[in-house]
Amino acid sequence: MDVSVEHLMYVREDEYTVARVSAEGVPDFVASGRALAGVQPGEALRLTGDWSEHPRHGRHFAVTACERVAPATVRAIRLYLGSGLIRGIGPRLAHAIVSHFGEATLTVVDTEPERLTEVVGIGPTRQAQIVQAWEEQKAIAELMVVLQGYGVSPLLATKIHQVFGDSAGEVLACDPYRLIGRVRGIAFGIADRIALRSGVPEDSPERIKAALLDTLETAAGRDGHCYLPSEVLVARAAELAGQDREPVRRQVDALTAERRVVVEASPDGQDRPVVYAKYVHSRELRLTAHLTRLRRAASALPAHRPPDDPGLHAEQRAAVAMALANTVSVLTGGPGCGKSHTVKAVAAAVKQAGGTVTLTAPTGKAARRLSELTGMPAMTVHRMLAHRPDSDSGALFTRTPAQADLIVVDEASMLDLHLATRLTAAVPDGCHLLLVGDSDQLPSVAPGNVLADLLRVETIPRTRLTHVFRQAADSGIIQAAHRIRAGRMPVTPGRSGFWFEETDDPSSVAERVVHLATVAIPRKQGVDPDQVQVLAPMRRGATGTAELGRRLQERLNPAREGVAEHWSGATVYRVGDRVMSIRNNYDKGVFNGTTGVVTEIVQQDRIVEVRTDDGESVPYGFGELDELTHAYAISVHRAQGSEYPFVVAPIVAEAGGVMLYRRLLYTLVTRARSWVVLVGQREALETAVHRFGHPRNTGLARRLALSLRD
């Protein structure tokens, strides 16, 4: 049966898709099935399946097979061209084109595209854009068919085409392992399925090398490791590839000879070799060199006096003196201990002496919070590094923010190996670099554990603030946080700000979290639901960010007549959605953690417009939407550096509670400013309080200790 897709109704994470479709001679009906994965409104399909009656949607077609075909009728052609599938053609222009060419429209576009200029409103420039978009769409459609033949999701076709363009088909046929790490969403499993079906032998050296490199990437991306012990790497890669360990060991040697990995002695002093991906090893060496250079450089600070601030505690005075006396130093401490006030005092002393100060943080929210707490301007590390001298100023040389006399990096626990290397490379000799952060919080999302590593190096000056100020001590949030840090249950009777709602029924937790976030807290506190942030330890499961986010979106921003929406995989974006960037995009000036609101969806141009919280309007092409995620419910890791008036979070032992551990719980609780409400099982909360997370494999501390000793 040939149909046209009118609109998507629902897409599950496993790609099960529900769509409303139309066909000649029958009323519109609902079709569903995993075979519909990747279809878009406007597409013409040939469906195979069975009819049934759905109690809610009426007549229903269960799809067992789906084939994309060219739309045959004038209405179907108009729907296809006007759906936004072909960039540059909207409903109005589609109507004009089809009115002019009729049933021959697609033949004209495909074989005689120069004739498009016969249509009023299409000049040479628009015609060229339409032809390019048409060719891209054809190539993507062909890739979808190829991927389905390999048993791989057709949803990956657009991403593959974006990276490899016209050579995508050749890559799939000849070297599918090149997809790993280049195309988001493709790891060894998918690339290997394509390779094996293409005839690559299971014991192929290239296959085993791909398994080894993917194992290192997984350890870096999932666990934050910079290296793996050689035997651990071999064992994991052998299991991944289904091979004996000996041939895998040989390919470690081959990768070493090719300079794609580096093997060296274990940084922890144990008699075992470890293996780094080459780029990670290089960054660790460079970060060590830059920190050594900065630590050994003579101070360029102007002559200064200790700050005259009677409100400083003795610990804070010691921290100020440390930062002013040393070119590299670390300030750490828990919530309520006065880190921000100390930073303000250090900066004031430098400014009073005529020096320059740059305050910075890894995310926009952390930078804004730093600015609010200190009363001074602050920027993200990325913006500081992207700043260039003003060539129109007339000056021979203009200092950039990275060339200040003092640079303060707040929320330094978020610094990963890559960002820390870029940061220190930009700092000139003599500048004072003060890293400020809570060492008990989660480490960075990306590989490395920079703040914790620096605190392990005795020759790096550090001050830990432990005195909790009286005003902070009255906060139930801060009391709970310090109890968690000490390994005690965060039960604070009589304190406002922290609440644990215990339930023995984990199946009810998700609905309770949604109700608290959308109804109970806004009503009781007299605030908008936007002031309540839902956090979760995991992404998957009934209480993971994906499912909670879907429920919250349906409650706060459901599908409405006349409100534009676009499905990208299992995610639907609607005007009014809260979103967050999950990747750095230097071309757009948007960085990981930037939040905003979807303000417009332009089907004709295939873009989603996002207004960031910084007030900038940023367009995302439909093919770039994997750089965004909904911000209705976010992971604790992604909440680092941010603070919200109210936080609600599930605490359940799903998947064995592997994501429940002390640092995560401590970070979660300290994201709230007024109230944090935990909902779940007491045993899960006890697990989180008493369990330590796995340490990260990094070599920075040992390298830096040796470098500074020489």
Which residues carry a binding-site annotation for ATP?
336-340
Range 73-76, long-range pairs (CB < 8 A, 24+ positions): 73/24, 73/103, 74/98, 74/102, 74/103, 75/4, 76/4, 76/44
Cα(197)–Cα(146) distance, integer angstroms: 12
For the chain, the C-alpha Rg in angstroms (whole number) is 28
Q: How far is it, in rounded angstroms, from Cα 166 to Cα 164?
A: 6
Distance CA 138, CA 146 (A): 13
Please say whether the beta carbons of 160 and 172 come within 8 A.
yes
DSSP SS3 for 678 = strand
Structure-block tokens of residue 423: 């940061």
Upper half-sphere CA count for residue 17 (Cβ side, 13 Å): 28
By CB atoms closer than 10 A (0-12, 13-18, 19+), residue 258 is: exposed
- Residue 432 near residue 408 (C-beta atoms within 8 A): no
Distance separating alpha carbons of residues 523 and 530, to the nearest angstrom: 12
As annotated, the binding site includes: 336-340
DSSP 44-69: EEEEEEEEEEETTTEEEEEEEEEEEE
Q: Say how far apart CA 642 and CA 203 lie, in whole Å.
A: 48
CB 415 within 8 A of CB 308: no
